[in-house]
Amino acid sequence: MNFNIGNIGKDIRYISMEMKYGLTPTVQEILMRKFISPLVSNIHQLEKKPKLFDKLLSLIESNYSFLVITLLSARFEIFQNVAKYIEVQGGLEKVIAPNEYSYIWIPRLFSRYHDIKIFYPYLRVGVHDTSKVFGSLKNTILVKDKYFFNSTPPDSINKYVFKHGFAKRNVIVYSQPHFPWFSDFQLSQQLYHYVSINELMPGDIVHNAMKKLKISRKRILRAYYLDLVIVLRSINELIKYVKTRFNFDKIVIAGIHGEILGEYNFYFHKNFKIPQLVVVPWYEVTI
């Protein structure tokens, strides 16, 4: 279902509405960024865990043929809870995503390697724009077949992949379980503009919007879980297709970054180094 939202005037109106909250959101974000986030990072010993960037770089610099399947906003513990929907055996590991935006570290990682075929979805929600992340890279294919709130459903990704075929080394990117959520159209519609400017404002305007719109955290979690299940089903279809036709040395499912879903009264993405945002899954399929 298409929905035209490219209206800058609406974003400006939403920003001006949120400015009335004053200093409290700013203080909350400063406390979270300067004190709570470093403390939580130390408690969980995040620096000592394997790094996503290093694991991807090691795979890229090897002579392996591979298929890397990546998910936006994939939190480790929630992925672990629904991993039963992955119908192929494999090993699941915690890894730490870079504590910087995807449009910085992903081009830095892939820009030197022109033999990797990358399929990526059309996704534009505020500052989240996949064309910024992947558009400058070589051998990339943008999937914009049909879209929902400026996002691409996983079945469209699969259709494009099946149509264009594989190279020796491949990366396939799925939007889900990143917002907007296909499993709850009304919720996505209600929150779209708040989410699109959430990172531009201090504090968390999504949390404030949920109060005004009487949206429960339980509903947010349900939509996130369901979209993760939806994308894993598409990934199952993809892997089954691959296993009958190709002999890749490595097949990996990995999160690009996590998602904060109400912890510390924040939602979605903020530049905090806490487990909900940086601990992501690395699932290596048994070949």
CATH number at residue 172: 3.40.720
Asked whether residue 23 is domain-assigned, the answer is: yes
Q: Is residue 124 part of a domain?
A: yes
pTM of the shown model: 0.89
Task: Let me know: does 197 contact 8? Beta carbons within 8 Å.
Answer: no
> Given this model, what pLDDT does residue 76 score?
97
CA-derived radius of gyration, the chain: 19
What total number of domains does the chain contain? 1
In a domain, 213, yes or no: yes
In a domain, 2, yes or no: no
In a domain, 251, yes or no: yes
Q: Is the pLDDT of residue 202 over 90?
A: no
Mean pLDDT of the chain: 88
Q: Write out pLDDT tens, residues 6-28.
A: 444 444 444 344 444 445 777 88
Q: Tokens at residue 155, please?
A: 């079945």
For 242-256, write each residue's pLDDT tens digit. 999 999 999 999 999
Model confidence pLDDT, tens digit, residues 59-101: 999 999 999 999 999 999 999 999 988 988 999 999 999 988 8
Domain of residue 89 covers 8-285
What crossing angle do the helices spanning 8-18 and 205-213 adopt, rounded to 10°?
A: 90
Residue 168: pLDDT above 80? yes
Residue 1 falls inside a structural domain: no
- Residue 3, in any domain of the structure: no
Contact between 150 and 125 under an 8 Å Cβ cutoff? The reply is yes
- The C-alpha atoms of residue 211 and residue 243 are separated, in whole angstroms, by 47
Per DSSP, the three-state class of 69 is strand
Residue type, 8: I
